[in-house]
Structure 1
Amino acid sequence: MKGFDWGVRRPAASVEDLRAEARRRIPRALFDYVDRGSYGEQTLRANRRDLDRLLLRQRVLVDVSKRQLGTTLLGEPVALPMALAPVGLCGLMHRDGEILACRAAQAAGIPFTLSTLSIGSVEDVAAAVEKPFWFQLYMWRDRGVTRALIERAIAAKCSALVVTVDLQALAQRHADIRNGLTVPPRVTLRNALETALRPGWALGVLRGKRRTFGNLAGLVPEAGDGVNGLTRWSNGQFDPGLGWSDLEWIRGVWPGPLIVKGILDPDDAERAAGAGAAAIVVSNHGGRQLDGTCSSIAALPRVRDRVGDRVELLVDGGIRSGQDVMRGLANGARACMIGRAYVYGLAAGGQAGVARAIRMMGRELDVSMALCGRRRIADIGPDQLMVN
């Protein structure tokens, strides 16, 4: 792959290889920000454990010579049943990381979701790519900030708004505290050696257009101080009193498709469907919020049973392979949201690394469909699974 130098003897064969390379290429504080979860990380482990428990049912002597991996999301064709999830700080994982990830997703024919807490702003990304992308929104107490972000997403012609609803209180992530994570990264005696050992990463980030939260710069003055400033501001913004009326308020401002992310309970899924959501992401925030709750893949069938086909369902949490994508589809999702897997690729090799992650997972899905006797995405259902 032109312009893609792994700096290692062996090529990447899996997302786990990308993870190992990402660990080598970026400082520990940033790697742990992506890789770790909240508190005791029970939910983080549950996401992987419960996926591993779902066994795929092998079928033979079925004509699978012509397989189709395409489907639709929100009425738009996609080449694979996947979307890149919103992940903060991608512009610190690699120079202009959000732009590169969006380009890779669009080249692969799947949606990209820009986080509110991205380094590159929604305007930066829109100016650098050819097609619309999705924008993720936090429901701040400050309605002026919330409205301004929605209006900027409208102006940037974003094709869907992904509202994250499971952050009414910010869970503690022990690794971020221990590592002293700041944005932009602050050089201290503790991390100077790690930075010195990664000159390529450091020079790349320094040459990037931004090194702090692009969507909040100028909109939230405190965000210019990085994570510490944002924390001071957000302590008064994460509102335990937020309710379904707030989602209805957003629905009144945003004219396009609305995706509600962070649903685990069937009752909440019912309410989201009634509030005008076009899609729901069954998600526990990648194990980064409520620790000790159920995995996303375990919650998915109950949500599907409740809402049926009234809304499209996506699932995230621990998805690292094409086999995991197939498990998600068989358990009731229309598509899977990919977070850590693509960020490992971004940190390891920029746009080419993200493209590598998408391509590997797509090929794994294709082979798994063949070995399971499935020709189309629509053919994948609950009968495809066995529980270990």
Structure 2
Amino acid sequence: MVQRQVPKPSEIFELVKFRKPSLDLTGSRLEQAQTVEDLRRIAKRRTPSAAFDYTDGAADGEVSLARARQAFQNVEFHPGVLTDVTNVDTTVEIFGGPSAQPFGIAPTGFTRLMQTEGESAGAGAAGVAGIPFTLSTLGTTSIEDVRAANPDGRNWFQLYVMRDRSISYGLVERAAEAGFDTLMFTVDTPVAGARLRDKRNGFSIPPQLTARTVLDAIPRPWWWWDFLTTPKLEFASLSTTGGTVGELLNSAMDPSIDFDDLREIREMWPGKLAVKGVQTVADAVKLAEFGVDGIILSNHGGRQLDRAPVPFHLLPDVAREVGGDVEIVVDTGIMNGADVVASLALGADFTMVGRAYLYGLMAGGRRGVDRMIDMLSEQVARTMRLLQVGSVAELNPDHVTQLRELLPVERRRPQS
């Protein structure tokens, strides 16, 4: 039998801990967020539907995005034992320079629409964290202003080759003059994907004040206050601003780009050149033979061709074929530091996060991006410790098994 006694008031008071109320509501919200999904939920509450859905959504049925995230969930880790992991080294070398973490910020378009601090918040946070920041051709902050926000850090530029080649060439020259060290030549956008959420929301740049958007704004007055009291939302690299997302992309992109365009950019660009949007082993081999410095395995976050290959599934085969010739970066679907570690173990040299960054931005501006980076950094280090590896270089395929749900059907050859 358990003996019971009447508790003494002093003993009860020892257990009572009241938190001091804080007037910093943003800070309190971010402190309580423990995962990127937590940041996503905060972002959804604080951002108008059209802007949030632009970030959160993908193309057509959004199958590619769902599969990419499921692929990371279908990971089985194989930890070692009896290894001193008091200290773990998360630093890597990528595209000729250092990164304090094995992930960087991916290029995102229309970023100031998500939250008015936009790319300046992302670049500044990346600089403090010692990781690379990538500016999109469809960014809403200029190349020069990103450099000002991250003067001592690593800045990369993502390039769309447009119908008017002179615009693209001018951007390449400006990025080089601003000290950007890596150029991402994007190859998966001959035309815009079918972003159905955007069409249903009537999403346009700049956003239009309609009865629907006004009703949507009522519970989010701070977003509209920021939008209306800060500099006009414009593309920093394009002169045409008005229209739906699909119209803007289709007016800027060129379905005729080919290896001659890649060769032209290679000759112009003085830094490292990576090709973004690689989705087959054969193309990875071609690009390695061409002489690019890196390839980014990506299906554009599921925003272009729906049911495209899952980059994480493609990774081991690509690493086996060209891992010794080019550096390999993976994006699409990364929501946790464990996803980053799994990618490194299967042959990636680096990873990139896009939506996770934007969820943090929408949740709390610059401080939200800082929180996202800290969160992923903690998850990377904790996963490495639990695997009992002391550095990124120690990660290898023995640490991970991909538990595949989507197995290709064996093709039968017709009988003669």
Gaps of 5+ in 2: 1-21, 404-416
In structure 1, C-alpha distance between the alignment counterparts of 2:222 and 2:259, rounded to whole Å: 46
Q: Which residue of 2 aligns with 1:336?
A: 351
Going from structure 1 to structure 2, the CA distance change for 1:44 and 1:235 (only over 3 Å counts) comes to same
Please identify, of 266-275 and 38-47, the stretch whose mean Cα deviation from structure 2 is larger.
Answer: 266-275
Q: What does residue 214 of structure 2 align with?
A: 192
* Contact 1:251–1:276 (Cα < 8 Å) also in 2: no
1:150 to 169, 172, 186: 172
Match for 1:378 among 372, 393, 401?
393
2:75 maps to 54
- For the residue of structure 2 that corresponds to 1:337, the secondary structure is strand
Amino acid in the other structure paired with 1:108: A
Is 1:254 the counterpart of 2:269? The answer is yes
1:24 to 28, 42, 45: 45
Deviation at 1:173, TM superposition (A): 0.8
Question: 1:111 — aligned with what?
Answer: 132
Q: 1:17, CA displacement in angstroms?
A: 0.4
- Which residue is equivalent to 2:378? 363
**1:272 aligned counterpart, secondary structure:** helix
Pairwise CA RMSD: 1.9
Say whether 1:166 aligns with 2:188: yes
Residue 313 (structure 2) pairs with residue 307 (structure 1): no
> Which contiguous aligned blocks of 4+ residues in structure 1 show a shift greater than 6 angstroms?
1-4
For residue 292 of structure 1, what is the aligned residue in structure 2? 307
Tell me, yes or no, if the aligned pair for 2:347 and 2:397 is still in contact at 8 Å: yes
Q: 2:241 aligns with which of 218, 224, 230?
A: 224
Amino acid at match of 2:52: F
Shift of 1:298: 0.5
Question: Distance in 2 between the 1:254 and 1:270 partners?
Answer: 22
Distance 1:8 1:104 in 2: 18
Aligned mates of 1:233, 1:351 — CA distance in 2: 27
- C-alpha distance in 2 between matches for 1:4 and 1:325: 30
Aligned mates of 2:149, 2:399 — CA distance in 1: 41
Paired residue secondary structure (1:369): helix
* Counterparts of 1:249 and 1:9, CA distance in 2: 45
8 Å contact from structure 1 (residues 96, 209) kept in 2: no
Cα distance between partner residues in 2 of 1:4 and 1:89:
26
Instruction: State how far apart, in whole Å, the 2-side matches of 1:2 and 1:352 are.
Output: 16
Q: Secondary structure at the match of 2:70?
A: helix
Q: Is the 8 A contact 2:241 2:248 kept in 1?
A: no
CA contact (8 A) 2:68 2:333 kept: yes
Q: Shift of residue 386 of structure 1?
A: 2.2
Q: Is the 8 A contact 1:59 1:372 kept in 2?
A: yes
Q: Report the Cα offset of residue 215 of structure 1.
A: 1.4
Instruction: Show the counterpart of 1:353.
Output: 368
2:332 pairs, out of 312, 317, 320, with: 317
Partner amino acid, structure 1, of 2:181: S
Shift, 1:300, TM fit = 1.0
Number of residue-to-residue matches in the alignment? 381
Rounded Cα–Cα distance in structure 1 between residues aligned with 2:267 and 2:310 = 32
Change beyond 3 A, Cα 1:168–1:346 = same
Shift of 1:154: 1.7
Separation (CA, whole Å) in 2 of partners of 1:3 and 1:165:
43
The answer to whether the Cα contact below 8 Å between 1:264 and 1:303 also exists between their aligned partners in 2 is no
Give the letter for the 2:368 counterpart.
G
Q: For 2:266, what is the secondary structure of its paired residue?
A: helix
Deviation of 1:323 after TM superposition, in Å, equals 0.5
Letter in 2 for 1:115: S
Question: Greater shift after overlay, 196-205 or 258-267?
Answer: 196-205
How far residue 145 of structure 1 moved from its aligned partner, in angstroms, is: 1.2
Preserved contact between residue 30 and residue 371 of structure 2 (Cα < 8 Å): no
When structure 1 is superposed on structure 2, of 103-112 and 153-162 the one drifting more is 153-162
Residue 201 of structure 2: aligned partner: 179
Q: Deviations over 1:45-76 (max 9, x none)?
A: 11011111121112222211121111111121
Q: Is the 8 Å Cα contact of residues 115 and 135 (structure 1) preserved in structure 2?
A: yes
Seen in structure 2, the aligned counterparts of structure 1 residues 201 and 237 have a Cα distance that, compared at 3 Å, is closer
Find out whether 1:79 has 2:79 as its counterpart: no
**Offset at residue 204 of structure 1 (A):** 1.6
CA contact (8 A) 1:113 1:135 kept: yes
What's the offset of the Cα at 1:122? Answer: 1.3
Confirm whether residue 68 of structure 1 aligns to residue 89 of structure 2.
yes
SS in 2 for 1:258: strand
Distance 1:252 1:199, change over 3 A: same
Query: In structure 2, what is the equivalent of residue 133 of structure 1?
Result: 155
Distance 1:201 1:232, change over 3 A: closer
Displacement after TM superposition at 1:100 (Å)? 0.6
- Is the 1:120–1:210 Cα contact (8 Å) retained in structure 2? no
Deviation at 1:327, TM superposition (A): 0.9
Does residue 211 (structure 1) correspond to residue 233 (structure 2)? The answer is yes
Q: Between Structure 1 and Structure 2, whose CA radius of gyration is higher?
A: 2
- SS of equivalent residue, structure 1 residue 5: helix
Aligned mates of 1:105, 1:146 — CA distance in 2: 25
Q: C-alpha distance in 1, partners of 2:323/2:28?
A: 48
The gaps in structure 1 that reach 5 residues or longer are: none
What displacement does 1:113 show? 0.2
TM superposition shift of 1:158: 1.2
